[in-house]
Amino acid sequence: MSPFRPDLFAGRVALLTGGGTGITRGIAEALAAHGCETVLVSRKADHVQKAAREIEDTFHQKCHPIEADVRHPDALEAAAAHVVKTCGRFDILVNGAAGNFLCASADLSPNGFGTVIDIDAKGTFNACRAAYHAWMGANGGSILNISATLHYGGTPAQVHVAAAKAAVDALTRTLAVEWGPRGIRSNAIAPGPIGDTEGARRLFPGEAGERLASLVPTRRLGKIADIAMLALFVLSDAGSNLNGAIIPSDGGLALAGSFSHTLDAVVAAMPKSAQP
């Protein structure tokens, strides 16, 4: 159940990369549920067409599918121009397209490293640039990048993703300063482990997920809905003074770090009166 009013984004238009599945699909649905016209960009045509149909049927808001790979700047420029032509405006850009797999650094090929940099970091830049030239540079807008928390420390087997998300953070902050005077807000959400995504099912299935949840200070994994509601806040007027913010939504996991492994033992060793 959303705490926001149903017409929060009435009359607005949002383009979401990677909008066909997972976290970005959840954000697209939340925007549509609050009156926003949405455009989903994915490199998989059947995927994105099905998602757009389902969003239109469920939320009775226009949802347009566009087949494009964020690694191709020309394709994103065409997508951005199409949004302005078809929808008449382009208020919101959500950069959710991402690649991820586990691979030990020594085994990762240069092309494997570069592929994730190309999708996450360069893809985010390509979409921001396209949005700027098509609409936002002259009219303002709001950009939301999907980052991560895994690069705050060191996460084994994720060197490619950590490097890519660090670049996304740098881009978020830089555009906030450079494009802020144009009325463009640039922010990011940094999800921790989100249990109900395809990525989670691949990266930490079953018991691994339960063990991970036990390390989170809130003792649960995140949900797509957690990220979607936070996105609504950041993108709405409620977040109008947020610019360059990178907001973790991870139940405090990144703060707990390795200490969380021993947290329960530490708490149990405390005097009873001091135990939480």
* Token pair listed for 126: 């390509």
What is the spatial distance between Cα 92 and Cα 239, in angstroms, rounded to a whole number?
A: 13
Spatial contact of 246 and 187, defined as CB atoms under 8 Å apart:
yes
Q: Indicate whether 122 belongs to the interface with ligand COA (CB under 6 A).
A: no
Burial class (CB in 10 A: 0-12, 13-18, 19+), 24: buried
Q: How far is the CB of 184 from ligand COA (least distance, A)?
A: 26
Q: Please give the size of the binding site for ligand COA, defined by CB under 6 A.
A: 11
Q: Indicate whether 241 belongs to the interface with ligand COA (CB under 6 A).
A: no
Amino acid at 111: N
CB atoms within 10 A of CB 61: 19
Stretch that binds ligand COA, among 7-15, 28-36, 76-84, 104-112 (CB under 6 A): 104-112
Q: Indicate whether 157 belongs to the interface with ligand COA (CB under 6 A).
A: no
Task: Map the footprint of ligand COA across residues 170-209, applying CB under 6 A.
Answer: 199
* Token pair listed for 131: 């949005």
Q: Indicate whether 101 belongs to the interface with ligand COA (CB under 6 A).
A: yes
* Token pair listed for 148: 């991560």
What is the spatial distance between Cα 55 and Cα 206, in angstroms, rounded to a whole number?
A: 29
Q: Indicate whether 100 belongs to the interface with ligand COA (CB under 6 A).
A: yes
Q: Indicate whether 155 belongs to the interface with ligand COA (CB under 6 A).
A: no
Stretch that binds ligand COA, among 84-92, 105-113, 126-134, 237-245 (CB under 6 A): 105-113
Smaller CB distance to ligand COA: residue 61 or 100? 100
Interface residue list for ligand COA (CB under 6 A): 98-101, 103, 109, 111-112, 115-116, 199
